[in-house]
Chain A
């Protein structure tokens, strides 16, 4: 995998929201690579900037938000060695619009309101198809029905003319997935696709995503709070905290040999099937600081047990390699960097 070129490369991206009350540094230097055919999981507490990072990839961050620095590179479909710089494109231009939905599709976070309630889902999916494929309306409708079928929706010919609020949560999520894959994208961003869905349906949706990924050789950026889902789905994991990447690495390394104090704490807080003793689950102490008052230095230092006074609260740690493909942003590993490359 090491010698393979990434499909998408996010490099030190920073997204700030300039509000009257002050600047919210939602994403403050995030880097990761996504490879073809890979499922990349992104985990982090609510508000750590996962959705904003995804929006910045597609260049759809809402107005007060702005990409301050960094690059998002996407390899070209026909020339995988050449890269498109998404950050340099005009936000409203044709180029980036061809990427949205055509190369990178998004399953948005709020499935309840992701469809317009006064247009049929067919109408909205057909629209997506016609934006990226050179077909007429009738053909688009056929494709739409096909893709509804491929996401496991029964009676697609009938459902195509229904409204989103007539569908159950699971069906609606399937419809959204159908819309996302309609443009035949190479990368699918799934922003918490299984929240607000019951557990059984959740498992079905996860299976569907996995199947689609395998069939189409798509890459998926999978965002979630749920480490269990990550373990099940992803090959590579990025752990975020307060707009920064704390640790990233192959899923096995992250789960079995977490290096960053935050990752360790996070893993400790999930219930394990093996543990039968009834001990209280530990939680990470302290609360997430207010976004306006992001701490200086390592963002985790107010809650970190290993914080080094005069260092962690002053300087930002950079990313240190600690294993195969595993990077940690913590001063504890400053000197123990392994040299693999």
Chain B
């Protein structure tokens, strides 16, 4: 067990190395660099910079060096916990990302919990009331939940809230708390905002989970240990909740590994639509402005989050299933 965890943890740096190379290759691939974009913007706004100045800045930021040198410089800094400077914000990337990473994880975490909270009861109901009206209802909801893209659901809900109640559902804080330091009131404000994007994100995932849960549970309900349980004199409800539900959840746990990266993908899109202050909109901005170290750092952070999530889910699986644990 311990060696298994160690093995998994050891893989992380290796994976990150692979990702960092791929990511570096991607972020420096576009022709031109931040200075090109920057001068184009300046030109657009009327002012301008001559070539000499631009080149000076390039040398300053090391953008004139060959590619592999740039990569090693970046890597070297990363190993010291320095993600470089955002040319766009003129701030350290560590700070930019650090400010938003908490909210990124929180959003993903909330939607994860929500999707399970929805999926498991719905799956249990559907399986135990197979072919009832309720089962059909959940099936229809599931089909729609899978079919509706996250960002479109966000758009729809924002439109409905605006149209009906004049609410503008953007951001994670009320204007009052946006810039305020952390306090209980601010946390309360956050919680009152975060549930909607979490729900939007959770819906697609929970639809898939419900289907799996239903199928698993139907399978388990036919197993011989059900006869044993009934013959013991257990009430049907206690029996269903203790054995088949527990067993049907195991394979569900093994889907978490694939679900977590998807969750971060979805959160990026929803965050952009709803203008949530997490690293999603920041990435979009960095990519379109060619702020390469910022986008590179964010991409790396996304990969890291997803890997850690996947490993956590593997450990969870080991923990819930004694058959794997004992091997």
In the complex where A119-B243, A163-B322, A166-B326 touch, is A114 in contact with B232 (Cβ < 8 A)? Answer: no
Which B residues lie within 8 Å of A105 (CB)?
231
Which B residues lie within 8 Å of A314 (CB)?
none
Which B residues lie within 8 Å of A110 (CB)?
224
Interface pair A116/B225, CB less than 8 Å apart:
yes
Interface pair A101/B225, CB less than 8 Å apart:
no
Interface pair A101/B235, CB less than 8 Å apart:
no
Which B residues lie within 8 Å of A98 (CB)?
233
**A325–B242 CA distance with the chains assembled, in angstroms:** 45
- The answer to whether the Cβ of A217 comes within 8 Å of any Cβ in the partner chain is no
Binary interface encoding of chain A residues 138-165 relative to chain B, with 1 for a CB under 8 A from any of its CBs, else 0: 0000000000000000000000000101
Interface pair B232/A128, CB less than 8 Å apart:
yes
Interface pair B233/A132, CB less than 8 Å apart:
yes
Which A residues lie within 8 Å of B242 (CB)?
119, 127
Which B residues lie within 8 Å of A114 (CB)?
224-225, 227-228
Interface pair B233/A92, CB less than 8 Å apart:
no
- The answer to whether the Cβ of B323 comes within 8 Å of any Cβ in the partner chain is yes
Closest partner residue, chain B, to A51 (CB atom) = B227
Q: Which one of B230, B231, B232, B322 contacts A118 once the chains associate, using CB atoms below 8 Å?
A: B322
**A98–B223 CA distance with the chains assembled, in angstroms:** 23
**A101–B235 CA distance with the chains assembled, in angstroms:** 12
Q: Which one of A55, A58, A127 contacts B234 once the chains associate, using CB atoms below 8 Å?
A: A127
Distance between A160 CB and nearest chain B CB, rounded to angstroms: 15
Closest partner residue, chain A, to B228 (CB atom) = A114
Interface residues of A in 97-127 (CB under 8 A from B): 97-102, 105-106, 108-110, 112-119, 124, 127
- The answer to whether the Cβ of B70 comes within 8 Å of any Cβ in the partner chain is no
Binary interface encoding of chain A residues 229-250 relative to chain B, with 1 for a CB under 8 A from any of its CBs, else 0: 0000000000000000000000
Closest partner residue, chain B, to A110 (CB atom) = B224
Which B residues lie within 8 Å of A307 (CB)?
none
Interface pair A183/B233, CB less than 8 Å apart:
yes
**A124–B247 CA distance with the chains assembled, in angstroms:** 14
- The answer to whether the Cβ of A265 comes within 8 Å of any Cβ in the partner chain is no
- The answer to whether the Cβ of A266 comes within 8 Å of any Cβ in the partner chain is no
- The answer to whether the Cβ of A131 comes within 8 Å of any Cβ in the partner chain is yes
Which B residues lie within 8 Å of A60 (CB)?
227, 230-231
Closest partner residue, chain B, to A94 (CB atom) = B235
In the complex where A113-B225, A118-B323 touch, is A131 in contact with B231 (Cβ < 8 A)? Answer: no
- The answer to whether the Cβ of A179 comes within 8 Å of any Cβ in the partner chain is yes
In the complex where A108-B228, A119-B243, A166-B326 touch, is A113 in contact with B223 (Cβ < 8 A)? Answer: yes
Which A residues lie within 8 Å of B322 (CB)?
117-118, 163
Interface pair B247/A131, CB less than 8 Å apart:
no
Distance between A118 CB and nearest chain B CB, rounded to angstroms: 6
Which A residues lie within 8 Å of B243 (CB)?
116, 119
**A128–B222 CA distance with the chains assembled, in angstroms:** 20
Interface pair B224/A113, CB less than 8 Å apart:
yes
Binary interface encoding of chain B residues 243-265 relative to chain A, with 1 for a CB under 8 A from any of its CBs, else 0: 10011001000000000000000
Interface pair A108/B227, CB less than 8 Å apart:
yes
- In this complex, the member of B227, B233, B242 whose beta carbon has the largest number of chain A beta carbons within 10 angstroms is B233
Which A residues lie within 8 Å of B222 (CB)?
62
- The answer to whether the Cβ of B178 comes within 8 Å of any Cβ in the partner chain is no
Which A residues lie within 8 Å of B223 (CB)?
113
Which A residues lie within 8 Å of B64 (CB)?
none
**A50–B233 CA distance with the chains assembled, in angstroms:** 21
- The answer to whether the Cβ of B99 comes within 8 Å of any Cβ in the partner chain is no
**A299–B32 CA distance with the chains assembled, in angstroms:** 88
Interface pair A116/B247, CB less than 8 Å apart:
yes
Distance between B130 CB and nearest chain A CB, rounded to angstroms: 9
**A119–B243 CA distance with the chains assembled, in angstroms:** 8
Binary interface encoding of chain B residues 293-327 relative to chain A, with 1 for a CB under 8 A from any of its CBs, else 0: 00000000000000000000000000011110010
Interface pair B246/A100, CB less than 8 Å apart:
no
In the complex where A110-B224, A163-B322 touch, is A117 in contact with B230 (Cβ < 8 A)? Answer: no
**A160–B322 CA distance with the chains assembled, in angstroms:** 15
**A197–B233 CA distance with the chains assembled, in angstroms:** 27
- The answer to whether the Cβ of B219 comes within 8 Å of any Cβ in the partner chain is no
Interface pair A58/B231, CB less than 8 Å apart:
yes
Distance between B218 CB and nearest chain A CB, rounded to angstroms: 12
- In this complex, the member of A98, A119, A166, A183 whose beta carbon has the largest number of chain B beta carbons within 10 angstroms is A119
Q: Which one of B232, B250, B320, B323 contacts A101 once the chains associate, using CB atoms below 8 Å?
A: B232
Interface pair B250/A118, CB less than 8 Å apart:
yes
Distance between B134 CB and nearest chain A CB, rounded to angstroms: 17
Distance between A301 CB and nearest chain B CB, rounded to angstroms: 33
Interface pair B323/A127, CB less than 8 Å apart:
no
Interface pair A97/B246, CB less than 8 Å apart:
no
Which A residues lie within 8 Å of B234 (CB)?
97, 127, 131
Which B residues lie within 8 Å of A128 (CB)?
232-233
Distance between A96 CB and nearest chain B CB, rounded to angstroms: 8
Distance between B66 CB and nearest chain A CB, rounded to angstroms: 57
**A163–B250 CA distance with the chains assembled, in angstroms:** 16
Interface pair A100/B231, CB less than 8 Å apart:
yes
Interface pair B228/A115, CB less than 8 Å apart:
yes
Closest partner residue, chain B, to A131 (CB atom) = B233
**A101–B326 CA distance with the chains assembled, in angstroms:** 31
Q: Which 6 A-B pairs have the closest CB atoms?
A: A106-B231, A100-B233, A101-B233, A113-B224, A110-B224, A97-B233
26 contacts between A and B (CB under 8 A): A58-B230, A60-B230, A98-B233, A99-B233, A100-B230, A100-B231, A101-B231, A105-B231, A108-B227, A108-B228, A109-B224, A110-B224, A112-B224, A113-B224, A113-B225, A114-B228, A115-B228, A116-B246, A118-B322, A118-B323, A119-B242, A127-B234, A163-B322, A163-B323, A163-B326, A183-B232
- Given contacts A55-B227, A60-B227, A100-B231, 14 further A-B pairs with CB under 8 A are A60-B230, A62-B222, A98-B233, A101-B231, A101-B233, A106-B231, A108-B228, A115-B225, A118-B320, A127-B232, A128-B232, A132-B233, A176-B228, A183-B233
